[in-house]
Structures are given as structure tokens and as C-alpha cells.
Amino acid sequence: MSTVRYGLIGAGMMGQEHIRNIALLDGAEVVALSDPDEGMRATSTDLAGGSVKTFNNHGELLSADLCDAYMIAAPNDLHHSLLHDVMAAGKPILCEKPLCTTVEHCRNIEARSANAAPIWVAMEYRYMPPVQRLLEEVAKGTAGTPKMIAMREHRFPFLEKVGDWNRFNARTGGTLVEKCCHFWDLMRLALNSDPVRVFASAGVDANHLDERYDGATPDIFDNAFVIVDFANGTRGMLDLCMFAEGSHWQEVISITGPKARVDACIPGPARFSPDGWERTSRLVISDRETKAVSDMPVEVDHTILSAGDHHGSTFFQHQRFVEMVRTGSTQPEVSVEDGLWSVIVGEAAERSARTGQSIDLTAV
């Protein structure tokens, strides 16, 4: 096909980031979008161009049959029902993370997806250029066989969204599912093993405490430490703080083996930096034997960076997704199984943090 025609379901903040990035691709366009919120529809229609068809709900969009592929960017708790409906259309799907808010719902989608068109779970962090460089170094043996992965994300609080749906565990799956599914996915990918045990400590200590929604106070965690053990004897750790805006690096991801440590140092979006300037990400390699340190910039085109808040990853992810659609491949790079595993770990971390117990995943 000469142009891949997207249908966008969910035209809020993240949906608009997808529109901006799809617009940068050769041979792809958003031709239809749906959202129940009139304001989001209007803003997204302006971004996508006047020829885009707009619908109040996804059922009308699907019935119009205008698209080659669908992008689901609606709130997390809608993913399960939306996937059921969109799968029936028989077209490739790119579904925002998390796949669903519960393991039960993810397993239901996994069971139904066996004979369906491909479903690609939008784990954007895999496609950040500094993370891609990190994974390349690990793959070529720079660190030796990886033994540990440590991730630190110190960032801004959850942003305001329509109805502030992202303030409650019931709609998001909880912070350790909603936000951190990216990290569990990266751990599993980099260490090439499935998780077997999770232990977490987390709290609600600074963010949204003065907010009320129908009398309810937000209950999402805003900081956590999480340890994950893997079947091959490796281990991972996450240090999350969501009241640390202005940190020099938003994420630092470190993979360590017997030969070296490799760090990807990633800035946050320029609009959240203290002075509004665009910082360049770095790849740092610390050699164990020679004690030499290599510190290299990872450049990303400014136009791509400015199209979203995820350091260019949304653009590069769509490049790969469009290639899959255009070639007719049935093998997404981020599978339903990958999406399921990220929710398994996130759900276990939420439970561990609330009970104080480590969670055994071998029977999950």
C-alpha cells in the first residue's frame, strides 16, 4: 500500500502526540479519529488536518471502514473492551500501554489474539534512541552477560487529562502498571528472561493530596523502589520518584555485567526542564578492567524530539509499526505476551507494596 491510513481511537494528550508523530512519517496519515470529548476531537482534528473524519465513538469509526490500521490511545480502563471491538475489524492494532489494567483482562486478550490480526503493544521506551544504543551495546557483549539492570526515573507528576482519570488505581491499574510497565518490559527484554519474584515499597507522599474528585482523594503511588528477580538468576531494580521535576536526567538505565556497566542517561521533555532547554542524552560505558569511561552523546533530530514527550520514541515506534503493516507481517515487535508480562509484574508490584510481602510469580 502506498499510504498507511490510521484510525485513532482516543484523541486526548497521548493521541495528539501520536498524530504529530504520524504526520512526520512518509506514507502514513491519520484519516479518522474518535473521542467522546468535543474539545479533544476539535484539537486533534486541527492537528490531523481538515480532511480527517471525526466520530463521537469508536463504533462509528469502525463501521466507516476507512482505515488500514487502528491506534488505541484511550484511557487504560477502556483498552480491554476496545480491543475486543477493534480486533473484530481484522486490521493491525497499535495499542497504547498498558495492554489492559489487569492480568485477567490481558490473558483474555491473549487468548482471543491467537487467530487475530497483529496487536502491537506501544512500549515506547524500547524505541528511545539512547535505549536502542544501550541494547545494541549489550547485544554485542560490551558488558559481558548482563547480571543486573537498574533504572531510575525521577520526573514530574502525572499530567492533567480529561476528567483526571489518571489519578486513580481503578482506572489506571496503579502507577506500577500504568507508568512502569515500560520498565518491566525493558528489564525482561534486556535480561532475556522472565520474572519470578517481585518486592516493592511505595507510597503516596507528595502529589495530588489536595485534590478531590466526587469526594475521593487520588490513590496512585508517587514514589517506589521495586526489585525484580528473573528466572536466569539476574535481577532488576526500579527507583521511581514522581515529584522530582527539574532533575538533570529524567531516566538513567544501567546494565551491568562482568566486563562493564553501560548507562543510558535520558533527559526529560524540554518543556519540563528548569530553563526550557533541550538536553542531549548520553551513553556512558565504564570498563571494569581498564577503568576507562566512554561518554558519548546520542543525538536526536529536534523536529522528532519536539513532536512528543518521549524523546523521539513515538516516532521511531510508528516507523516500525508502519513497516509491519505495509509488508503484511503478522509479527509485531512488541507482542501481546510482552504486554501481558509487563502487567503481571506491575500488578505484583502494586500488591507487594500494599501488603509488604514479596510476590512469587512462578505460579502466575
**What are the tens digits of pLDDT across the range 152-202?**
999 999 999 999 999 999 999 999 999 999 999 999 999 999 999 999 999
Average pLDDT, the chain: 95
Please give the sequence-ordered ranges of beta strands (E in DSSP) within 56-190, or none if there are none.
69-72, 93-96, 119-122, 148-154
CA dihedral 240, 245, 248, 250 (to 10 degrees): 40
pLDDT tens, 190-233?
A: 999 999 999 999 999 999 999 999 999 999 999 999 999 999 99
Is there a contact between 236 and 230 (Cβ–Cβ < 8 Å)?
yes
Same domain for 132 and 84: no
Question: Which pLDDT score is estimated for 274?
Answer: 64
Estimate the share of the chain in helix, then strand, then coil, as percent rounded to the nearest 5: 35, 25, 40
SS3 88: coil
Q: How far apart are alpha carbons 65 and 88 in whole angstroms?
A: 12
With 90 as the cut, is the pLDDT of residue 2 above it?
no
- Counting beta carbons within 10 angstroms of the beta carbon of residue 14, is it exposed (0 to 12), middle (13 to 18) or buried (19 or more)? buried
* 336 falls within a domain: no
Is there a contact between 361 and 116 (Cβ–Cβ < 8 Å)?
no
* The one-letter amino acid at 312: G
* 190 falls within a domain: yes
Same domain for 326 and 284: no
> The domain containing residue 186 runs over which residues?
126-309+341-360
Q: Is the dihedral of CA 352, 355, 360, 364 positive or negative?
A: negative
Same domain for 142 and 108: no
DSSP secondary structure code for residue 246 in this structure: T
Same domain for 197 and 182: yes
- Counting beta carbons within 10 angstroms of the beta carbon of residue 59, is it exposed (0 to 12), middle (13 to 18) or buried (19 or more)? exposed
With 90 as the cut, is the pLDDT of residue 278 above it?
no
Same domain for 79 and 49: yes
Same domain for 130 and 84: no
Is there a contact between 117 and 247 (Cβ–Cβ < 8 Å)?
no
